[in-house]
Amino acid sequence: MRYVKLPSGNFEDFFNSLKGIGQIYGPVKEGKTHHFRRVEEAGQMDLKYTRTMLPPKKFFVRPRERLFSLEDGWWRKEGDGKPFVLFGVHSCDVHALKILDRVYLSEPVDPYYARRRKSAFIVGISCLPDELCFCKSLGTHFAMDGFDLFLHELPDGWLVRIGSVRGHEVVWENARLFDEVSDEDIANFKAFEERRAEAFKRELRSEGLADTLDLAYNSPVWKEYAEKCLACGNCNLVCPTCRCYEVCDRWVDAYRAVRERRYDSCFMESHGLVAGGHNFRPTRLDRFRHRYYCKSYFDPSAGFNCVGCGRCDEFCPAGIEHVKVLDEIRGSLE
Q: How far apart are CA 2 and CA 309, in angstroms?
A: 27
Instruction: In angstroms, give the least distance from the CB of 97 to other proteins.
Output: 15
- Contact segment (CB under 8 A) with other proteins among 3-11, 137-145, 165-173, 269-277 equals 269-277
Q: What is the bridge-based pairing of β-strands 157-162 and 149-154? A: antiparallel
Give the x/- contact pattern for other proteins in 174-213, rule: CB under 8 A: -----------------------------------xxx-x
> Are the C-beta atoms of 25 and 87 separated by less than 8 Å?
yes
Residue 150 contacts other proteins per CB under 8 A? no
HSE of 215, CA atoms in CB hemisphere, 13 A: 10
Can you tell me which of 3, 192, 293, 315 binds other proteins, judged by CB under 8 A? Answer: 293
Interface with other proteins by CB under 8 A: which range of 40-48, 87-95, 180-188, 240-248? 240-248
- Work out which of 244, 303, 320, 328 binds other proteins, going by CB under 8 A: 244
Q: Find the shortest distance in angstroms from Cβ 269 to other proteins.
A: 12
| Rounded least distance, CB 334 to other proteins, Å | 18
Q: How far apart are CA 17 and CA 191, in angstroms?
A: 30
How many Å apart are CA 111 and CA 212, to the nearest integer? Answer: 37
Under rule CB under 8 A, residue 276 binds other proteins: yes
Q: How far apart are CA 168 and CA 148, in angstroms?
A: 8
Residues 62-101 that bind other proteins (CB under 8 A): 67-68, 70, 73-75, 77
Residue 333 C-beta: closest distance to other proteins, Å: 13
Bridge partners (DSSP) listed for residue 162: 2, 149
Question: Please, which residue, 7 or 303, has the CB nearer to other proteins?
Answer: 303
Out of 31, 82, 175, 274, the residue judged to bind other proteins by CB under 8 A: 274
Which of these segments, 149-157, 194-202, 226-234, 293-301, binds other proteins (CB under 8 A)? 293-301
Contacts with 205 (C-beta within 8 Å, 6 or more apart), sequence order:
137, 326, 327, 330
Window 28-67: residues binding other proteins (CB under 8 A)? 67
Gap between the Cα atoms of 334 and 328, Å rounded: 10
**Options 118, 278, 301, 319; binder of other proteins; rule CB under 8 A:** 278
Q: How far is the CB of 46 from other proteins (least distance, A)?
A: 33
Distances (CA, A) of 170 to 55, 147, 306: 25, 13, 31
DSSP sequence for 46-102 = -TT-S-BSS-GGGGTS-SEEEEEEEETTEEEE------EEEEEE-HHHHHHHHHHHH
Tell me: does residue 246 bind other proteins (CB under 8 A).
yes
CA 95 to chain centre: 7
Q: Please tell me the distance from the alpha carbon of residue 319 to that of residue 161, in angstroms, as a whole number.
A: 37
Which residues sit at the interface with other proteins, rule CB under 8 A? Answer: 67-68, 70, 73-75, 77, 103-104, 106, 108-111, 209-211, 213-214, 217, 243-249, 251, 257, 259, 261, 264, 266, 271-276, 278, 280, 290, 293-294, 296-298
